[in-house]
Amino acid sequence: MASDPEQPTHSSLAKEGGSSSEIGSGREPLLTVAHDSESYSVSAAILPFLFPALGGLLFGYDIGATSSATISVKSPTLSGISWYKLSSVEIGLLTSGSLYGALIGSVLAFNVADFLGRRRELIVAALLYLVGALVTSLAPSFLVLVLGRLLFGIGIGLAMHAAPMYIAETAPTPIRGQLISLKEFFIVLGMVAGYGIGALFVETVAGWRYMFGVSSPVAIIMGIGMWWLPASPRWLLLRAIQGKGDVQNSKEIAIHSLCQLRGKAIGDAATHQVDEILAELSYIGEEKEATFGEMFQGKCLKALWIGAGLVLFQQITGQPSVLYYAASILQSAGFSGASDATRVSILLGFFKLIMTGVAVVIVDRLGRRPLLLGGVSGLVISLFLLGSYYIFLDNAPAVAVVGLLLYVGSYQISFGPIGWLMIAEIFPLRLRGRGLSIAVLVNFGANALVTFAFSPLKALLGAGILFYIFCVIAVASLIFIYLVIPETKGLTLEEIEAKCL
């Protein structure tokens, strides 16, 4: 196969024999993929998850390392630079630079995702991670430092857009939920690593350069891994039936890709699976290329309502704000490590890691809706406890500690992993690239809004009232989940489109 596996080589749409000849024949193909045919090798399924998940790892690492990096860069004795006297606005730009870059990356993804494909988008993301990390770690001035943060952030936006799609489209149906949820585990793992590396270099001269530079080798591994991995078979087949490649040639490439993704265990079933996917893509009307107007009509409008609504509630239920109070809550409870914000962050990071691991283990057994309903119910209780502590129970720090730990645990078994999982599953294939870019843009935009508005709202209303407001929003999100969010456990992506939208 000499051609780029991300792109079919011919331009005409060809009809073919066998089961895929049902395209356009008027006969209705079977709507249910035989899950028994999804044989796969666990060892072969790991790599198609691992390399995209490194994009999430680097996202989490950036969150964890930046807090220590800002301490290092403004230290007169340890910064190693002459321009260490940074204003609060400049520190804000340094801290949020990657977030604004992620917003830019989400906008770019809307226009280039379907053209590039999931694999090549992740390769571009890895390149931006690498360049951003190098520019940031070697920055001779503040402006260059912010530029590096923006480049790294654009990589985050592209990676967090493409990674869930690639994993969802290549993962075996029985473990798709686990693998996409495991990406959230990698984000948290990256946060813990960032806190740890930050603690290691925070007392080192120019330690911030090492903190930012550590991302470089991981970005290289991610880029090489994605170059080696095949294209998404579903993306290849979609492009073919939309007239952007020869169906027979694309089908052969998709079979080759599926064999590489599943390993030897798939045997002769690869051809059968590709035929079924191709037939179902035609049956559910994927032949036309998506237009901008279709994003807000029919199935995609419902998918947008589900996906964007879920990630909006993921952010506006106070996730960044609750963690802001972690150090003071644990300190008031007498935890010795609470005097050191880095140690507190590592402690909470490990707790988040454990709870995310619980979600990964049970998501494909219990389902998406039960985890969301149970976890968000925990958020409601925890936010009520935190609000009550700051208004009525300031002499009972144990209430605040219980509320904090309940919030972190509940979030990590619900909104944390399930939000990314659902937006990767719910969009129709031909609209998935653009639809998911809108959802990611909503996610990062809401994150930026909550982060920006938290301090002035806290000063205006007080922490207790603010947590009560978050509690009311969490109740609204619980109603939204109960009424709107479908259960997708055990369904193929094509079945989700046919049955849930």
**CATH code where residue 221 lies:** 1.20.1250.20
pTM for the predicted model, two decimal places: 0.81
Q: Is residue 61 part of a domain?
A: yes
Find where tokens 């930050």 sit. Answer: 198
pLDDT exceeds cutoff 80 at 324: no
Within 10 angstroms of residue 336's Cβ, the number of other Cβ atoms is: 9
Six token digits for residue 444: 């990062």
pLDDT of residue 48: 85
How large is the average pLDDT for residues 218-225? 96
pLDDT exceeds cutoff 60 at 424: yes
pLDDT exceeds cutoff 80 at 254: yes
Shared-domain flag, residues 360 and 277:
no
Could you say which of 206, 229, 252 is where a domain stops? 229
Cα gap 412→443, rounded to integer Å: 16
CB 251 within 8 A of CB 274: yes
Shared-domain flag, residues 100 and 234:
no
Find where tokens 């044989």 sit. Answer: 39
CB 118 within 8 A of CB 86: no
Q: Left if phi > 0, otherwise alpha if psi is -120 to 50, otherwise beta: which for 30?
A: beta
Identify the CA nearest to 418 among candidates 194, 214, 182: 182
CA 260 to chain centroid, in Å, comes to: 24
Q: Is residue 19 part of a domain?
A: no
How large is the average pLDDT for residues 438-460? 83
Shared-domain flag, residues 82 and 168:
yes
Shared-domain flag, residues 194 and 306:
no
pLDDT band of 134, cuts 50, 70, 90? very high
pLDDT of residue 19: 33
Within 10 angstroms of residue 11's Cβ, the number of other Cβ atoms is: 9
Identify the CA nearest to 98 among candidates 168, 151, 29: 151
Shared-domain flag, residues 169 and 211:
yes
How large is the average pLDDT for residues 90-100? 85
Shared-domain flag, residues 465 and 338:
yes
Residue 245 CA neighbour count, 13 Å, CB half:
23
Could you say which of 268, 289, 310 is where a domain stops? 289
Could you say which of 229, 253, 273 is where a domain stops? 229
Q: Is residue 1 part of a domain?
A: no
Q: CA angle at residue 313 from 309 to 317, to 5 degrees?
A: 170
Strand, helix or coil at 12?
Answer: coil
Q: Is residue 16 part of a domain?
A: no
Shared-domain flag, residues 173 and 234:
no
Q: Tell me the per-residue pLDDT of 38-88, one tens digit each, with 9 for 90 and over.
A: 666 666 678 888 999 999 999 999 988 887 888 888 888 888 888 888 887
Identify the CA nearest to 55 among candidates 192, 183, 179: 183
Q: Tell me the per-residue pLDDT of 185-198, one tens digit each, with 9 for 90 and over.
A: 999 999 889 988 98
Shared-domain flag, residues 280 and 344:
no
pLDDT exceeds cutoff 80 at 501: no
pLDDT greater at residue 261 or residue 220: 220
Lowest-confidence segment of 104-113, 315-324, 375-384 by average pLDDT? 315-324
Parent domain of 285 = 230-289
CA 138 to chain centroid, in Å, comes to: 28
Number of domains in the chain: 3
How many angstroms separate the Cα of 285 from the Cα of each of 254, 307, 430?
A: 20, 21, 9
pLDDT greater at residue 269 or residue 90: 90
Shared-domain flag, residues 90 and 163:
yes
Shared-domain flag, residues 169 and 315:
no
Q: Tell me the per-residue pLDDT of 340-368, one tens digit each, with 9 for 90 and over.
A: 555 676 778 889 899 999 998 999 889 99
Q: Is residue 3 part of a domain?
A: no
Shared-domain flag, residues 156 and 271:
no
Q: DSSP string of 379-413?
A: HHHHHHHHHHHHHT-TT-HHHHHHHHHHHHHHHHT
In the chain, the amino acid numbered 469 is: I
pLDDT of residue 75: 86
Shared-domain flag, residues 207 and 271:
no
pLDDT of residue 10: 36
pLDDT of residue 286: 56
pLDDT exceeds cutoff 50 at 29: no
pLDDT exceeds cutoff 70 at 386: yes
Report which DSSP code applies to 244: I
Q: Is residue 17 part of a domain?
A: no
Q: Is residue 22 part of a domain?
A: no
Lowest-confidence segment of 120-124, 258-262, 327-331 by average pLDDT? 327-331
pLDDT band of 335, cuts 50, 70, 90? low
pLDDT exceeds cutoff 60 at 16: no
pLDDT greater at residue 355 or residue 325: 355
Averaged confidence pLDDT in the chain: 82
pLDDT exceeds cutoff 50 at 22: no
Identify the CA nearest to 124 among candidates 171, 96, 161: 161
Q: Is residue 20 part of a domain?
A: no
For the chain, what percent of residues have pLDDT higher than 90? 33
Lowest-confidence segment of 151-160, 290-299, 453-462 by average pLDDT? 290-299
pLDDT of residue 39: 65
